[in-house]
Structure 1
Amino acid sequence: MILQTRNVVTEDDAFLFELYATTRKHEFSMLALDEQQLQALLYMQFEAQKRSYQNKFPQAKHEIIYHEGLPIGRVMTEIKGRNIHLIDISLLPNHRGKGYGTKILKQLQSNAATQRGSVTLHVLQENPARHLYERCGFYVTEEIAPYIAMRFESFNEEVERR
């Protein structure tokens, strides 16, 4: 499985909105909205998230994930010192559960290992991706409802002290 990434450009906004909508549409499904109202609400939320990420993570690296030449998701990270903070990783529904997310996580972990660093992230407590993170060696460091902070260390501090 070969995945490529490239930096996000302005022309990616339509794809990024489509991707965002696939990850959030279920949250608004209980509201009595017609499709046009739902799309307007999702777009407003998408724009709010984009502004929030730009303000909170101004140095973030924002990339589109490609498989076989087609965009399948995005990954957003910020490096501070020897830590890689995973801000967001999202895949289109028909590309979830195929190992692509694991591959991206393992690449981040490998990059952290070359710096003897770590990878951190926050995930909603009930997000099924939490199990993926745990399988990949992340552990809970803090619960900040409704989120959980998680960390992967590329080295073992006990071994380092010997």
Structure 2
Amino acid sequence: MQKFTPPKGLHIRPSTSSDKPFLEKLHRLVRQDLRLLDADEDFIESVVEMQFRAQTEGYGAQFPNAMYFIIEKHMEKIGRVCVDFGVNELHLIDIAFLPQATGHGFGRAIIQSFQYCAAQSGLPMSLNVAQDNPAAKRLYLNLGFMVEAIHPPYEELRWYPPAMTAFVAVS
């Protein structure tokens, strides 16, 4: 695998406690489905907050070694990504962007950067994608991921570094 060079001005950095307002804002924007609830605004806001806490705590419990990053373009926060660097694989837990940052290839670039890291370590990379998100699944398949298992409402996808592909096919 060739060395990966991200688009100019795009980078990730570790998330810090000062990023919490941005992460909450991002969560609110990403979870527009919760706005469809037939309820008053205060109740909807409490559900959004509860979902944010549940997600944060859930990731922490399920992936205690996870690393959380902020994605920036020219020093402006545009998204976040959470990955678990395990002994046997690199697992992409979650990736999300502000609505205005979608459709520009930033997600592809970030995922490719983690594929490069995984390849350098000789590890496969895994992720789960919602079955009702065909655009994300198409992106992952275009990046070489393969469907490994289906556990509705998600599909488990895995990518193997080029050097591992022959080994995996034989095993």
The alignment's TM-score, normalised by the length of structure 1, stands at: 0.92
Q: Does residue 1:54 correspond to 2:60, yes or no?
A: yes
Which is worse superposed, 28-37 or 78-87? Answer: 28-37
Q: What residue number does 1:7 align with?
A: 14
Aligned AA (2:13): R
- Which residue in 2 is equivalent to 1:140? 147
SS in 1 for 2:12: strand
Residues 42-66 of structure 1 show CA distances to partners (whole Å, capped at 9, x for unaligned) of: 0111001100011111111101011
Tell whether 2:81 aligns with 1:72.
Answer: no
| 4+ residue segments displaced more than 3 Å | 158-161
Residue 40 (structure 1) aligned with residue 49 (structure 2):
no
* Offset, 1:158: 5.3
Partner of 1:153: 160
Residues 1:98 and 2:104 are matched in the alignment: yes
Separation in 2, partners of 1:34, 1:150: 38
Q: Which runs of 5+ in 1 are unaligned?
A: none
Deviation at 1:30, TM superposition (A): 2.9
Deviation at 1:159, TM superposition (A): 9.0
- CA drift at 1:160: 8.5
Distance 1:136 1:81 in 2: 22
In structure 2, distance between residues paired with 1:132 and 1:93: 17
Are the aligned partners of 1:78 and 1:84 in contact in 2 as well (CA < 8 Å)? yes
RCO higher in 1 or 2 (8 Å CA, sep ≥ 6)?
2
Partner amino acid, structure 2, of 1:51: E
Unaligned stretches of 5+ residues in structure 2? 1-6
Q: In the alignment, which of 14, 35, 52 is matched to residue 29 of structure 1?
A: 35
Percent identical residues: 33
Whole-angstrom CA distance in 2 between matches of 1:160 and 1:30: 45
**In structure 1, distance between residues paired with 2:92 and 2:155:** 13
* Code of the aligned partner of 1:7: P
Distance in 2, Cα, partners of 1:41 & 1:35: 10
State the alpha-carbon separation in 2 of the partners of residues 95 and 111 from structure 1. 23
Cα 1:23–1:159 change in 2 (3 A) is closer
CA distance in 2, matches of 1:104, 1:60: 16
The aligned residue for residue 3 of structure 2 is: none
